[in-house]
Amino acid sequence: MMRALLILYCLACTATSAERPNFLVIFTDDQCYRSIGYNNPEVKTPHLDRLAAEGMTLNHAYVASPICTASRASMMSGMFPQQNGAAALDTKNFAPFLKGGEHEQMTLAAQLSNAGYHCEFWGKSHLGDPKKYGFHHGKETRDFDDREPFQKATAFLTEAAKKDEPFFLWLAPRQPHVPLKPKQKWLDLYDETSLSLPDNFREKPLHQSINNQGIAGEMFFRGHTYTDNWRNAPVGPPRSAEVARTFTKAYYATISHLDQQVGDLVAHLDTVGLGKNTIIIFLSDNGFHLGSHGLGNKITMHEESVRVPMWIRWPGTVKAGTTSDALVSSLDVYPTLIDLAKAPMPKHLMGHSLVPLMNDPTTSLREVVFSECTGVGGKLDEGHRMARSKNWKYVLSDTDEEYFYDQVNDVPELKNQIDEDLGKEASELKKLRIAMGQWMERVGDRPYKHQPKD
C-alpha cells in the first residue's frame, strides 16, 4: 500500500507547473460575512470586490469552528476539532500533526509538499511554527497591520515567477482581529454616525444558552478591545449603539486597509506573470459579532459567527461574475487543492472538493453543513454545534438545548421555532436532528439526546 502511494506521489511530482495550478490561499482573521463590500456597500473594499467579480463568490460558506485555533487546525488537518483534538484555543492537542508526530503526513502542507509543491506560509499561524506542520519556509508574524507577511509574500512571488515549480502560498493576515489600529486615512472613509446597525442588534444579549461564549451553562459574554491612538479599553455588554458604531467604524477601516494590501499583492501576482495559473481562494477563519444579538467576538452558531465571505479567482478557468449558493465548508479547501494538484486524496478528509462547483456553480455539494465550537471549557465535548440546510438551521447549545431557525423568513435568527407547530416543516427538523446525530457519532462527540424515534 505504501509503495503504491509513493508511486502516485512520484507521478504527481512529474507534472509541470503548467499542468497544475499554483495555490494562493488568503485566510483573514475574524472577518464576518457582511464585512466585505459586495455583501454590504457600507464597507469600502474595492479590490476585494473586483477580485471576487473576476471569479466566483460563494454565498454560503461556513467554518468548521468559529474560533481561531480550532478553525486553523481544522483547515490544516481536514477534520473537525473533535477529530483532530485542537479545540477552542488549545494548541497542545495539535502536536500529533507536527513534525515527527504520528499524523505528520496528514496536514495539507505535507500532502502538497509530497506532491511536488513548494509550500510557503506567512502570517498568523496560531498552531506554532508552520515549518513543523509541512511548510518548507515561512514563519508566524505578529505585526498588527500585516506589513511583514504581505512584504514576504510579494518577495516570494517574485522569486516563484522565475522557477518552474508549482507553489502553495498560505497567507494569513491577522486583520481585522482586535486590537484594531487603523491609520486615520482608513478611518476617514467612514462616518460612524451613518453606519447601519444589524437588524438583530441588542445592547446586551438574552440569557439563553445559544448566546453563551464561555464554559457550558456559564452565560459568559465576551468583550473585545477597540484600539487606536487614543483609546484602549475592553468593550463588553451592554454596548450602546454609539459604542457599536465606533467599533464597527474601526473594524471596517481595518478591512479597508487589508483590501488595499490584497489588491497590491494580486496586482503583483499578475505583473510577474503568475495570475493565469494561480488559483486564489479567499476566506476567513470565522466571523464576528458586531452587536448582533448583543454579542461581540464569535464562538456561537449564529450566522454572524460561523458564516464568512469566500471567493475563488482563477482567470480563464473559473468563469468571472459567477456566484454559488451551495453550502460550502472551510474544510472543502483541503480536498480542493489536493484534487487540483492531482495528488492522492487522503481518506480522513471531512470536506468535499470544490472543483465540481467551479465547473458548475449550480451544483450542490451537500444537503447539510456542520460547525462546532467545543472545548472552550477545556473538554472536547463542551460547546455548541450546528447543522444547517439550505433553508433551516438547527443548533444544539452547550447545555443540549435545541434551536431551530428559518433561514429564509428569519435571517436575523430572532425566533426559535423548536417548540412551534411546524406543520410540513417538521420533516425538516427531523432531517436535521438525524443529520446532527450521525455527525456527532462520526466525529466522536458525546451521545446525542434528541434522535428521532421513528
Task: Read off the pTM.
Answer: 0.94
pLDDT at 225: 57
pLDDT at 224: 66
* Helix axis angle, 241-271 to 46-53, nearest 10°: 60
Helix (H) or strand (E) holding 111: helix 108-114
Does residue 212 come out as left (phi exceeding 0), alpha (psi in the -120 to 50 range) or beta?
beta
- What are the tens digits of pLDDT across the range 14-25? 444 457 999 999
Task: Reduce the DSSP state of residue 49 to 3 states and report it.
Answer: helix
Task: Reduce the DSSP state of residue 450 to 3 states and report it.
Answer: coil
Which residues lie below 8 Å from residue 215, measured CB to CB, with a gap of 6+?
A: 376, 377, 382, 398
pLDDT at 377: 75
For 18-454, the fitting CATH number among 3.40.720.10, 3.30.300.30, 3.20.20.140, 3.40.50.880 is: 3.40.720.10
DSSP letters spanning 130-153: GGGGT-SEEEE---TT-HHHHHHH
pLDDT at 423: 86
C-alpha span between 46 and 32 (Å, rounded): 17
C-alpha span between 392 and 412 (Å, rounded): 12
pLDDT at 87: 87
C-alpha span between 331 and 366 (Å, rounded): 13
In whole numbers, what is the pLDDT of the chain averaged over residues?
92
pLDDT, tens digit only, all 454 positions of the chain: 333 444 444 444 444 445 799 999 999 999 999 999 999 999 999 999 999 999 999 999 999 999 999 999 999 999 999 999 998 887 888 999 999 999 999 999 999 999 999 999 999 999 999 999 999 999 999 899 999 999 999 999 999 999 999 999 999 999 999 989 999 999 999 999 999 999 999 999 999 999 999 998 888 898 765 544 335 445 678 889 998 999 999 999 999 999 999 999 999 999 999 999 999 999 999 999 999 999 999 999 999 999 999 999 999 999 999 999 999 999 999 999 999 999 999 999 999 999 999 999 999 999 999 999 998 877 777 899 999 999 999 999 999 999 999 999 999 999 999 998 888 889 999 999 999 999 999 999 999 999 887 6
Query: Where along the chain do its domains lie?
Result: 18-454
Q: 125 with 76: CB under 8 angstroms?
A: no
